[in-house]
Every structure is written in structure tokens, then in C-alpha cells.
Amino acid sequence: MEIGVQKQTQEEKQVQPEQFNKLDDSGDKKSTGYCGFLTVEYYTPYFNVTETDVIQRIQATFLPFRPDFLNITKDNPDLWGPIWINATLIFLITAIANLRQIDQEKENQQFDVGYVPQATALLYIIAFGTPAILAIVMKILGVDLSFFQTICLYGYSMSTLLPITILCYFQNELFLWLIIVYGVGNSILFLIFNLKEELDKLQIQKKYIIIGIVVIMQLSLYLFYKLVFFSYVSEGKVEAKVASSDSKIPGN
């Protein structure tokens, strides 16, 4: 399925008028620009990282006061991080939520698979939808940040949820709220400090619009997280059913 390679641009310039008479589509990459995002080759430049890069970027998210992240990823935004950090989160949510239930009901171990589609929908919509909205708003307001850089930034900010999910195993309600608050704070600070350089070029009102969007989306993500997945499990089944019935996800 090799639909054209970048190296063919020289040939393309030479055979420009014959473009429509060619039997194969090897040079058509430029002319199918609107559907280019459906090919695999379109996304290959965004996977140009090694494991040391990934680990470095994840470490940068835990230190929000040093805005290294955008400097590191400005030339090389990657999509590996957002996709697989969210996949790991889905696994961790399923694992830890079920581990919690096991401790409560030794006789009646009920394996609730419903977390998997809920978590997948929630995480991937937020991880890719929010940066899409943010990028559109920023383009309208005049900030110069590409779409993929926003996705990269937002996806890596989800890595704050990794240790939080693991720590959600403990049953203490106060402890859970504390780490959720820490997570909200960390990720909001991370996003804002990294966008600060770009945002300072704007007027005050526009800056606050963007900051407001970021804050609202992070707050709602973490609230969903706490209330849907890790609600207080006291009598096991009863509490879990109550929590999933008042979840805010439609159609469930």
C-alpha cells in the first residue's frame, strides 16, 4: 500500500502536466492533500522518538515549574506518547478498579468490564478532542502553535494520572481527594507554564479564555475520574452500581 514517498517531489515537478495520465499513483501524494491524513506516511514524522526521549518528556511533566517541555518538543512533537500513555491508563483503571472490588467482597467477585469502554471513550476524547478545540481557539486568537504540538503537550500532561491511578488503590477517601487535587494542580500548572511563552504575546482577555478552557477541561477530567471510576467502595456492589448509574456519560 505504498502511496507515494516524499522523495518523489523532484520527479513530480518534471511531470506536472502528465499528472492525470499516470497509471500508478506514486506521485499523487501532493494532489491528494485533503485525504493525505488517512495514509500511514502522513503520521510517520510524528513518531520520531526513542525511549530516552519519551522518558525525558514524561519526567518533564512532573516538574511544571521548569517549562522545558515545549522547548524540547517544539521541533519534534510526537504522537506515541499521547496514544500509549492513555492506553496504559485504561489498563491501569481496569486493573486497579477491579483490585479494589476484590478486597471488599471475597465471596462474590464481580468483574466489571464496563470500565473499559467508558475509560477508552473518556480518555481518548479528552486527549484528542481538547487539544483540537484548544488549537482551533488558539488559531483564531492568533497563537502560533501547531495542532500536533498541542496534542503532544496535552497527551503528555495525562501522564500525571499514571501514579494517581496506581495510588487510587487505597480506600481512604481523604487521601484520594488529596491526590486528585494534586493531580489537577500539577497538570494545570504544567499546561499553563508551557503555554505561557506563547500566551504572553496576546492581550489579557484572550489569554484568560485559553487558560479558562484548559482549567475547565482538566477539572472535568479529574472529576469524572474520581466519581466514575474510583468512588467510595463501602458495601461493594451497591456503591459501585450507584456510582455508575449517576455517571455523566450519556447513553450508559
Instruction: Give the footprint of another protein on this chain (CB under 8 A).
Output: 40, 43-44, 46-47, 49-51, 54, 80, 83-84, 87-88, 91, 94-95, 98, 102, 108-114, 116-117
Measured from the CB of residue 91, what is the shortest distance to another protein in angstroms?
5
Our CB check for another protein shows the closer of 161 and 217 to be: 161
Q: Minimum Å distance from CB 207 to another protein?
A: 35
| Cα 188 to Cα 160: distance, rounded to the nearest angstrom | 10
- Category of 182 on φ-ψ map: left (φ > 0), alpha (ψ -120 to 50) or beta: alpha
> Which residues touch 184 (CB under 8 Å, ≥6 apart)?
218, 219, 222
Residue 30 Cβ, how far from another protein at the closest point, in Å? 21
Buried b or exposed e, range 106-134, using 16+ CB within 10 angstroms:
eeeeeeeeebeebbbebbeebbbebbeeb
Helix/strand/coil percentages in the chain, nearest 5: 70, 0, 30
* Cβ contact 162:169 at 8 Å: no
* Inter-residue contact 214 to 150 (CB < 8 Å): no
Q: 40 or 204: whose CB is closer to another protein?
A: 40
Of residues 111 and 177, the one with the C-beta less far from another protein? 111
- Nearer Cβ to another protein (121/213): 121
We find the least distance from the C-beta atom of residue 66 to another protein, in angstroms, to be 24
In angstroms, give the least distance from the CB of 47 to another protein: 4
Nearer to another protein, 102 or 219 (CB): 102
